[in-house]
Structure 1
């Protein structure tokens, strides 16, 4: 099975660029996430953290 995939991937022109694009997307996403975590207001983070425990927003079923 792996030989089939490897041989098939070698026939695609420019296939070496796909891992680089994936790495770039991964790096950019986590860099932005890291930046957001350190710049987000502490009050907002605390509010979001307590949201699942808030009994006032539950619907009466």
Structure 2
């Protein structure tokens, strides 16, 4: 089975670009997430952290 999959994958033109694209998407996503975490306002973070403890929340 593995031999079939390997042979099939080698026959696809440009197959080596797909892992690079997925790595790029992964890196960009976490870079943007990292940037958002450090630029988020302290007030917003405090409001979200207190949300589970808020008794007026319906």
TM-score (norm. length: structure 2) = 0.85
Change (3 A) 1:53 1:14: same
Query: Which secondary structure state, in structure 1, belongs to the residue aligned with residue 24 of structure 2?
Result: helix
Aligned residue pairs: how many? 58
TM-score (norm. length: structure 1) = 0.81
Q: Give structure 1 regions of 4+ aligned residues with deviation exceeding 4 angstroms.
A: none
Cα RMSD after superposing both structures: 1.2
Residue aligning to 1:39? 39
Range that drifts further, 20-29 or 47-56: 47-56
